[in-house]
A = this chain, B = another copy of it.
Amino acid sequence: MDKIRIGIVGYGNLGRGVQYASSQNPDTEIVAVFTRRDPASVKTVLPVKVEKYEDMKNYVGKIDVMILCGGSATDLPKQSAEVVSLFNIVDSFDTHAKIPEHFSAIDKAAKASAHVGAMSVGWDPGLFSLARIYFGASLADGNSYTFWGRGVSQGHSDAIRRIEGVEDARQYTVPVESALERVRKGENPELTTREKHTRECYVVAKEGADKARIEKEIKEMPNYFADYDTTVHFISKEELLRDHAGIPHGGLVLRSGKSAADNKFLMEFSLKLDSNPEFTSSVLVAYARAVYRLHKEGKTGAVTVFDIAPKYLSVLSEEEQRKQLL
């Protein structure tokens, strides 16, 4: 079998995850990792060549799809359009407000270079977006809900770490069970931010720091915590490392509605993930397969999960899909 030749751009948690995920998908192989750091300083979880970001141009014709593993804040807005000029790409862009402009930038560069650029792939955006579109289409008269967690929010953990006197911190986003139950009962509630999620913070304070002040600063932090019921637990560094080392996440998409004859329906999709980046990477690799196939068919331009028929994702042939999965 001709393997799908994948390159990884950026080597953090997501890049490591793509390497792991590719090892579980025998129709793919990782050709090289590209980094802005000194390649010699990058330790990979499985053996692979590490190259400078600038040298990816030497891999044109040797890599079918680049998976972009940088962040949405500063990396992807620059890299996605840049890399799609040379290769097909998949990225996990998740800055919601900037999706239209990111789409346009990739679309333009991808069409000019006859590549396919799949953006906002992962679980949210990604599989949760799929649940939202399929659920909405299947049940016209209803309400959709997305809950996140229980899981670690990197952004909120970082925000706590920036507070004076904090040595380390981990923040969990937790769906409110009673709100979930109201949705499941078909009440179609209007839920405020505070009613849907709570925030649990585990904080290691520096020696002699004022814990009361730290707790107050966390709970009153605008955007991040002020709109939520937030609990703060001070723990030791040892406890943090022992009990909060993982990066679990997950969540639920629900849609509740009814027929014109007033019969009720509930649709629910949920994920429980021990590792957020490793699952996201696993989805990225499936979409690399899709992008590879779409490009072979002559497709060009930007695409999202909405534009890609499910058949392109599966390693099975179309006949096998109909036989085994339909």
Contacts and interface: CB of A to CB of B under 8 A. Distances in A.
A307 to B, nearest CB: 5
Give the bracket for the number of chain A residues in contact with chain B: 35 or more
Given A138-B127, A263-B278, A326-B125, A133 B313 contact: yes
Nearest to A273: B265
Contacts of A40: none
A265 B271 contact: yes
A326 B259 contact: no
Nearest to A259: B278
Contact of A138 (B100, B136, B282): B282
Interface string A181-217: 0000000000000000000000000000000000000
Copies of this chain assembled into the complex:
2
Contacts of A326: 96, 99, 120, 125, 129, 304-306
Given A269-B269, A306-B318, A21 B264 contact: no
B310 A322 contact: no
A163 interface: no
Nearest to A138: B283
A295 interface: no
A25 B257 CA distance: 14
Interface string A116-160: 000010000101011111101111110000000000000000000
A286 B246 CA distance: 40
Given A138-B283, A279-B265, A260 B321 contact: no
B20 A261 contact: yes
A306 B258 CA distance: 26
Contacts of A311: 133, 306-307
Given A20-B261, A322-B99, A134 B140 contact: no
A301 to B, nearest CB: 12
A310 B137 CA distance: 9
Nearest to A25: B140
Given A129-B325, A137-B286, 13 more contacts: A20-B259, A24-B259, A120-B326, A125-B326, A133-B314, A134-B310, A137-B310, A137-B315, A246-B263, A265-B273, A305-B310, A306-B310, A307-B318
Nearest to A20: B260
A325 B278 contact: no
B267 A140 contact: no
Interface string A8-34: 000000000100110111000000000
A237 interface: no
B278 A261 contact: yes
